[in-house]
Amino acid sequence: MGWSRRRLPEATEGDRSVRSPTEYGYRLLHYRDRIKNRFDTAGRAMEAHYGVVSARYYRGFWNDAAGATGAEVEDIGDNFLRISRGRRRTYVTRHMVMLDSFVGRMITDNKILTHRILAEHGFRAPRHREFNRDTVEAAAAFLRDLGRPVVVKPRSGSGGRGITTNIDSEGALHKAVAWASSFEYSMIVEEQIDAPSYRLLFLDGRLIDSVRRESPSVTGDGYSTIRDLVEKENDERLRAQPVTSLMALKIDLECGRHLDRQGLSPASTPGSGEQVELKSVVNQNAARENHLVRDHVHPSFEALGRAFGSVLDLRFFGMDVMADRLDLPLDVTGGVINELNVEPGLHYHDLVSEPSLRVPVGAQILTAIFDGPPPPQD
């Protein structure tokens, strides 16, 4: 396949330091980011440290849940736990449980397929288009036709990896595509929804919890740069007892662009007490940025969860909603279902700003497993 060398329009203000690349240049950006990911030894070391924290946290999480349900826990190695009560037993590893089929997990991990199923059944989802490294023009056409900012994501994955928001020019689009495609060949571009992010958790057709997830931020001390503050935040997260986050806070493309829109950069020095929002993607936030809102959720959301669960025969999943508020239906607020997860991060419902108001999510999951039907056989 030949490469077009047509030059695209110049980047707009948010990308003033980088000229919009040709198709050839885009491919160079893609391979640059792949190499950067492969040889980022410091980043890999940081991820390893957080992996230890995550494994330790979830061992404690499931021990507490088992204790609350009269079950016993056995560590069988490699971060797998066997949890038994009477003649019933199940296996968990970190946030993953045996309530739903592997096929169901694969479907919801595929953002393109999930959007297609949502649309087919009349659920509100963002306008979007699928594309890959060889069909980037489809994403550029979507941006032009939409006439408003978009988001680029890898087709699958979790944790906010490879996602860039607020893309408003073709120069920014090609940078985002290069970043996302360093994780996966196929991608999705969707309309940007400027609204708070909520995670709704469903179990057997019931809404058991809801959390508003704010963007990660740091607070200035008057002399440290944002880069220094991020490093300090990561050190504090790794040492914190109790745990405050299971993910490293990273200065990546999304962070750099988000800071740029505020007239800042990683080298900027915020004033003492000044709070700086680092990115729109919320996955790398901490407990102080997760707020319980289950008492402010309209009954229509439970009906939505029940309906979607029946479409894919799912018992347990998380629904990510973008909406101005949850006390009104989505068709009133104009909000959308952004993503669905059959393996939702349970820590978002445990590491919260109001720990005394937490619900025993782990205990409810084990009760559903031990008192319900056997897990599906793939």
Q: How far is CA 104 from CA 84, 158, 341, in A?
A: 25, 15, 10
pLDDT for residue 5 is more than 90: no
DSSP SS3 for 208: strand
Digit-coded pLDDT (tens) for 97-137: 999 999 999 999 999 999 999 999 999 999 999 999 999 99
Plot region of 157 (φ>0 → left; ψ -120 to 50 → alpha; else → beta): left
Classify residue 221 by burial, with Cβ atoms within 10 Å: 0-12, 13-18, 19+: middle
- Section 64-87 average pLDDT: 97
The predicted pLDDT at position 26 comes to: 52
Residue spans of the domains in the chain: they are 13-38+127-191
Which of 32-41, 200-209, 246-255, 337-346 has the lowest average pLDDT?
32-41
Q: Which residues contact 245 (CB under 8 A, 6 or more apart)?
A: 237, 284, 285, 286, 287, 351
The predicted pLDDT at position 29 comes to: 56
Digit-coded pLDDT (tens) for 147-170: 999 999 999 988 888 999 999 999
Q: Does domain 13-38+127-191 have CATH number 1.10.3720.10?
A: no
The strand pairing partners of 84, in sequence order, are 72, 89
